[in-house]
Chain A
Amino acid sequence: MHSPAVAERPHGHPALAHHFESLAQQKQASSLGMWVFLVTEILFFGGAFLAYIVYRSAYPEAFAGASHHLDVTLGAINTAVLIVSSLTMALAVHAAQTGRRRGTIGFLLATMVLGAAFLVIKAVEYGHKFEDGLLPGPHFSYPGGGARQAELFFSIYFAMTGLHALHMIVGLGLLATLVWLAARGRFSPGYNTPVEMIGLYWHFVDIVWIFLFPLLYLIGRHG
């Protein structure tokens, strides 16, 4: 890919790509790139949030009733799990920045375990919904009135939490890659950009859940 006649400047750090002038420029580019990507994710989930907002404002009672069929305890536990995982992710970044390889790997693994725990709890919840006949489609059965709008609620519930879970799974894959790279000694105080960037992604997925939890689980829980 390099024209042979152009002198290969000794380009320094092995992680520095040939088209960047310096690691600083490369890191700035990576950071802006990841943030722009996260903005696309805001708009991506945003469309689904719009559907939720429109329908909840149209059918408040039906949505509240349907929301009661969700398990607040499991939802709250999952919220806590993700918050802890955000902490461990931040600590992993910190460890990478301070050159502690074992700390980096340890915190990354902790984040992965917590993420997996989230997914297991989610799967349990989905199983319960399936048993209760709350999966939208031909087998949907809802006790009580407002069944049509309740099915709408559950369509949105499964679409949004499903999308969120998919993002978590991708996140686990990215974390596994980071663990592998960290184990091979690729990160140092001078270069730890991938850890920080994937950390941004992980925190974003946490933020989505921070909104999903009250919007889906905590509607009209009083009385």
Chain B
Amino acid sequence: MSAVPVPRAAEVPDYLNARYGVKSWLLTRDHKRIALLYLASVTVFFFLGGAFAVLIRLELVTPAGDLVQSETYNKLFTMHGVIMIFFFLIPSIPAVLGNFLVPLMIGAKDLAFPRLNLLSWYIFVAGGIFTLWSVVHGGLDTGWTFYTPYSTTYSNTAVITAGIGIFVTGFSSILTGLNFIVTIHRMRAPGLTWFRLPLFIWSHYATSLIMVLGTPVLAITVLLLVAERAFRLGIFDPALGGDPVLFQHLFWFYSHPAVYIMILPAMGVISELVTAFSRKNIFGYRFVAYASVGIAVLGFFVWGHHMFVSGQSVYAGMIFSILSFLVAVPSAVKVFNWTATLYKGSVSFQTPMLYTFGFIGLFTIGGLTGLFLASMGLDVHVHDTYFIVAHFHYIMVGGAIMGYLGGIHYWWPKISGKMYPEGLARFAALILFVGFNLTFFPQFILGYLGMPRRYHAYPDEFQVLNVMSSAGASILGVGYLIPMFYLAWSMRYGKDAPANPWGATGLEWRTPSPPPTENFAETPVVTWEPYHYSDAPVEVKGGGGSSDATGEAPARA
């Protein structure tokens, strides 16, 4: 992949230059290479989904529906949602950072099932190709939610192809989750008990539970949808006595927990970053660990809050409402604990920490507005308005994507062996923060004032806020492009990274940057607690050979 470098380490090649050639990448079983395969794919999908967002925001600059026809606009927001959710947000952190780091963080040589890991990437690509095919052959206009009977009977777009694409992609998610669960249970290094694990592992474990328990229900739902459309097998067809609300129950049983698939890994990243850049142990480790699993479990009990106005029984709505209040509690616990970790810490403001602060603030706003929506009395007024759009973008972009970018920057030295340019990176982070808020805060107001979502035209009085939002989106777009350039630049021209550039705890920092294919020369034996920052400083290793990769760390008192 790179030109043959002057060997900077001793005799051991790292995973990037252990073998060369396209086949060594496409047939790899190395979790680190598979992570990079995913990185390339999700980045392509991100910009594709972003392109649809650009068109949406361009249309919404003017009140009239004058850029595209309404049918086309329906396709734009559908494809934006489908691509961003299924092909970026759900895989991004687990398949890129999780794949790369889970074995390293637990002292293993690879995941439990390396070939399944590679298969999961091929399945991801195959599902993506199906879905992209549907984009260019008829498009998709059902919304990413595929509600019946429009999707089964009335839509004239490529629902079947897209449905098959999503069905296939779901298995990528299932296999990743399965791999993580087995790996974390069965392959931890000696001495690495559950409560010595980094919180990144806890949150990926919790995420994997959701992937494994929820995604199959999406699979059967999409399958039945495709069967109904293709073979007229009427399951959701009212003409046959079927119930479209049944589709919604099945759909949201997965799709609500899916939002926790998107945020939990980012929370895991934040736990790592907030400790590293406060140089302090996490406040309330066990609470954060339990909260991760709590979110995963409770998240399965609340899906009906997407259906308050669907015709669902109001009694069921009340049950779902109170449970939705409950699921906010573990998230709040995490926010409190991250904040408390900062207290009396030695805080520094490198790029990953900027993303951390962005995450904590924006996720809090998004999460609080989620509580508003859990209340049926308010939700019936703002359902299907821009209030909802703003709510989930605060979590998905202000939260998940900031967590993703923070993690990419933090572990970039480990992944690439290079340092990114800090000044430019901080600048990009600030641009993203400004652009994000300008894009999405006006949308809270728009939704509260009554502007519906998924409409390409709106009343004139909403134009000022829409123009602000579109202006913010252009800034946001620039903010996303800048890291693309300097990260690529750094792979060739960046400073070589030492094994532990941040002086952080964690097994991944006790092996060279980039790591050798086998990760560790010898399986580490863990005798210390996580985030032991207040002990004697962890030595920052040089560019190192394998002999001192394990190093020493004082056990906590």
Contact = CB atoms under 8 A, between A and B. Distances in A.
Complex contact flag A–B (Cβ < 8 Å): yes
A2 B19 CA distance: 9
B240 A149 contact: yes
Interface in A1-32: 1-6, 17-21, 25, 28-29, 32
A144 interface: no
Contacts, number: 138
A172 B109 CA distance: 34
Contacts of A149: 240-241
B217 A3 contact: no
B232 interface: yes
Contact of B233 (A21, A39, A42, A155): A155
Given A149-B240, A151-B240, A40 B216 contact: yes
Interface in B323-375: none
A47 B220 CA distance: 6
Contact of B28 (A1, A25, A152): A1
Contacts of B214: 43
B224 A6 contact: no
A148 interface: yes
The CB with the most chain A CB atoms within 10 A, among B108, B182, B187, B239, is that of B182
Contacts of B114: 17, 19
Contact of A47 (B112, B179, B185, B217): B217
Nearest to A36: B178
B178 A33 contact: yes
Interface string B272-299: 0000000000000000000000000000
A159 B28 contact: no
Contact of B182 (A32, A45, A62, A163): A32
- The A interface is mostly helix, strand or loop, or mixed, namely helix
Contacts of B30: 1
A29 B112 contact: yes
Nearest to B220: A47
Contacts of B231: 136-137
A59 B242 CA distance: 10
A28 B212 contact: no
A40 B185 CA distance: 18
Nearest to A137: B232
Contacts of B219: 44
B217 A29 contact: no
A190 interface: no
Contact of A152 (B110, B221, B224, B241): B241
Contact of A19 (B110, B178, B181, B241): B110
B542 interface: no
A216 B186 CA distance: 40
A155 B234 contact: yes
Interface stretch (B380-388, B411-419, B500-508, B515-523): B515-523
Contacts of B28: 1
B213 interface: yes
Given A19-B108, A40-B215, A152-B240, A5 B186 contact: no
A29 B518 contact: no
A85 B219 CA distance: 28
Interface string A123-155: 000000000000011100000000011011001
Contact of B246 (A20, A51, A158): A51
B12 interface: yes
Contacts of B108: 19
Contacts of B29: 1
A55 interface: yes
Of the listed residues A29, A43, A55, A149, the one surrounded by the most CB atoms of chain B closer than 10 A to its CB is A43
B227 A152 contact: no
Interface string B193-224: 00000000000000000001111110111011
Contacts of B234: 136, 151-152, 155
A37 B516 CA distance: 31
Contacts of B224: 47-48, 51, 159
Contacts of B250: 47, 50-51
B543 to A, nearest CB: 16
B221 A47 contact: yes
Given A51-B235, A55-B241, A149-B241, A43 B217 contact: yes
Interface residues of A, number: 47
A36 B209 CA distance: 10
A37 B175 CA distance: 9
Given A19-B109, A136-B231, A29 B182 contact: yes
Nearest to B521: A6
Contacts of A45: 220
Nearest to B517: A3
B496 interface: no
Nearest to A136: B233
B216 A41 contact: yes
B6 to A, nearest CB: 17
B11 interface: yes
B95 interface: no
A25 B243 CA distance: 48
B13 interface: yes
A47 B216 contact: yes
A46 interface: yes
A159 B233 contact: yes
B34 interface: no
A1 B517 contact: yes
A156 interface: yes
A41 B174 CA distance: 11
B122 interface: no
Given A32-B181, A36-B182, A43-B216, A6 B233 contact: no
A32 B213 contact: no
B108 to A, nearest CB: 7
Interface string A160-185: 00010000000000000000000000
Contacts of A50: 246, 249-250
Interface string B5-37: 000000111000011000000001110000000
A166 to B, nearest CB: 11
B31 to A, nearest CB: 9
A147 to B, nearest CB: 9
Contacts of B179: 33
Given A39-B213, A58-B243, 20 more contacts: A1-B19, A2-B517, A3-B12, A3-B518, A6-B521, A18-B109, A19-B108, A21-B523, A28-B186, A32-B186, A40-B212, A43-B214, A43-B216, A47-B216, A51-B224, A55-B241, A55-B243, A59-B241, A138-B232, A155-B228
Closest 3 CB pairs of A and B: A47-B220, A44-B216, A43-B216
18 contacts: A3-B516, A6-B12, A17-B114, A19-B111, A20-B187, A28-B186, A29-B187, A32-B186, A40-B212, A42-B216, A43-B213, A43-B220, A44-B216, A46-B217, A50-B246, A51-B250, A55-B242, A155-B234
